Amino acid sequence: MNAQANFDPADLTPGQRAAILLTLTMVTMLYAMTVTIANVALPRMQGSLSATQDQIAWVVTFNIVATAAATPLAGWMAARLGRRKLMIYAVILFAIASLLCGTANSVEELVFYRIIQGASGAPLVPVSQAIVVDTYPKEKHGSATAFFGIGVMLGPIIAPTLGGYITEAYSWRWVFYMILPFTFVSLVGVLAFIRDRNQPNKIALDWTGFLALAVAIASFQLMLDRGERAGWFTSTEIIIEAVAAAVALYVFIVHSLTAEKPFLRPVMLLDRNFAVGLLIVLAFGMLNFTPITILPSLLQQLRGYPDSVIGWVLSARGVGTLIGFMIMAFAGKIDPRYPLTIGFLLQVIAGYSMWQFDINLTIIDVVWTTWLQGLGVGLMWVPLSLIAFSTLNPMYVPDGMALFHLLRNIGSSIHISLSIALVIHTSRVNYAVMTEQVTSFNKNFQIPSVAGIWNTETAQGLAAISGEINRQATMIGYLNSFAFFAATAAIAMPLMLLIKKRKNT
């Protein structure tokens, strides 16, 4: 078959559909791998590149932001280039960026390459999902979407497990090099099985809307990432970033409401389920990656666990997600509001349980809570997608997909940044409060059986006291971030009541 020839999806055989679905699942797995594979190596990156905790978090957040900013371009690029050609270019650029990430010698350099990696990976998920929808008849969308979601699930299982061993045996650089074989297999699959349904169409892009949205997202994210270190609104830098984000967002909204062909069409929001679905996917994004970004630093910094063990711990989340997807693959006829509500409830339970951790937490404590959080993610994703697009006019689906994934990514980057800021800020506050008790007038230090090596009269004793207070204060910071996670999930649950029940056909 000619690579550029048009085809009718109705003419595809079951074997051809399966090959297309398998290829798209593999491509989607690339995106999922990049997030989790970086997380397991964050502590090593922090030490190797002499970065602070908030700086090394940029490796995750700016990758997600780049994905978020470039995601709405997926529809335009697919129309201009064709889906097949776009995916070929995206996978190749993704591979190059992954290679460059492994060669980075500074935080700034690594973040820059991660931005390229995120931008090049942005079209992969929405374009792949659109092809899945076009390839399968409507009655099989639920099962096809569930299988397609396996790509999102396999990444969090494979990446941290292998990444942990590779980081421990070699270095953090190899976690990026190990992505290259997967990109090669994906590229071969795209070349062999993906075909364009229609000829490329050189449609115009609303550059004003796109640039305004990109500036708004980038400025807001930079403000969140830099806020705690710069002193928030006492800093001129933060004020400038906040003003830039507000002005750009204002321009985007006004332009979208007045332009003849805006970048993202506001008319889509008139569909109730789609509008509610956007709010829910924003909350879903906030809950999706936050725990696996925070936990590696906690486990290595406070408990001293090796990278290989941390990788296995993070993979438990992927196993939970797999089980959730498997359940949804056989529960297509259930009202999607029920598994969606259960999924959010599991996030609340997992977050609350993490909030109950103490400084002596065990691997078992972390494994079952991350597994539970992953199970909730698996239960939520399929019904959330079905709810958001069940009543949307088909002509708006491409733009709707872009906006859907945009808000998911924005939610992830925002919540991760706020959680890291919360850890750092509350750790400092609690350290200051606890050190007030370190005085020669504190009678506890006069009891040998209580004080131990803690001695306010010697430098060694003061260092021991300072180290323990720092551990306890840091742990409180992490616990506050878990409480924030649970609260976010609980606040989002009432949104389920706004979903309009799907009529039986």
DSSP state letters, 278-325: HHHHHHHHHHHSHHHHHHHHHHHHHH---HHHHHHHHHHHHHHHHHHH
CA–CA separation, 302 and 282 (whole Å): 31
Q: Mean pLDDT: which of 56-60, 385-389, 418-422, 457-461 is highest?
A: 418-422
Distance CA 62, CA 122 (A): 13
Tokens of 413: 């980057």
Q: Which of 107, 123, 119 is nearest to 59 (CA)?
A: 107
pLDDT tens across 227-273, in order?
888 888 888 989 999 999 999 999 999 998 888 888 778 888 888 88
pLDDT, mean of residues 324-348: 85
**Distance separating alpha carbons of residues 420 and 470, to the nearest angstrom:** 16
Residue given tokens 């430098």 in the structure block = 459
In percent, how much of the chain has pLDDT > 70?
A: 89
Task: DSSP letter for 501, please.
Answer: P
The pLDDT, as a whole number, for residue 3 is 40
**CA-CA distance, 220 to 280, in Å (whole number)?**
21
With tokens 């970065």, the residue in question is 51
Q: Of 101-110, 287-296, 352-361, 495-504, where does mean pLDDT reach its minimum?
A: 495-504
Which range, of 68-72, 291-295, 457-461, averages the lowest pLDDT? 457-461
CATH topology of domain 9-205+263-429+472-498: Growth Hormone; Chain: A; (1.20.1250)
- HSE-up of 178 (CA within 13 Å, CB side)? 23
> Whats the size of the chain, residue-wise?
505
Distance CA 92, CA 429 (A): 46
Ramachandran quadrant class, 50 (left: phi over 0; alpha: psi -120 to 50; beta: rest): left
31-35, 89-93, 197-201, 388-392 — most confident range: 89-93
Q: What is the pLDDT of residue 242?
A: 94
Q: What is the pLDDT of residue 89?
A: 93
Q: What is the mean predicted confidence (pLDDT) over 140-156?
A: 70
- Please answer whether residues 493 and 341 qualify as being in contact, where contact means their C-beta atoms are separated by less than 8 angstroms: yes
Q: How far apart are CA 336 and CA 340, in angstroms?
A: 6
* pLDDT tops 60 at residue 6: no
The rounded distance, in Å, linking the Cα atoms of 118 and 121 is: 5
| CA–CA dist 342, 170 (Å, integer) | 41
How many Cα atoms sit within 13 Å of 172 on the Cβ side? 22
Neighbours of 457 (CB within 10 A): 9
Q: Distance (Å, rounded) from C-alpha 207 to C-alpha 212?
A: 8
Q: Give the domain ranges of the chain.
A: 9-205+263-429+472-498, 206-262
User: 1 pLDDT exceeds 50?
Assistant: no
List, in order, residues 6 or more apart from 252 with CB less than 8 Å away: 209, 212, 213, 216, 263
Confidence label for 152 from pLDDT (cuts 50, 70 and 90): low
Q: What is the mean pLDDT of residues 27-47?
A: 80
pLDDT at position 11: 67
DSSP letter at 439 equals S
* Secondary structure string (H, E, C) spanning 445-471: HHCHHHHCCCCCCCHHHHHHHHHHHHH
Joined together, the tokens standing for residue 24 give: 């798209």
Q: Among 354, 353, 257, which Cα is nearest to 299's?
A: 354
Residue matched to tokens 């009529």: 503
Residue 116 has pLDDT above 90, yes or no: yes
Average pLDDT over residues 397-404: 80
Please state the pTM of the whole predicted model. 0.82
Place 169 in a pLDDT band, splitting at 50, 70 and 90. Answer: confident
Token readout for 56 is: 């090394």
Q: Residue 182: how many CB atoms within 10 A of its CB? A: 21
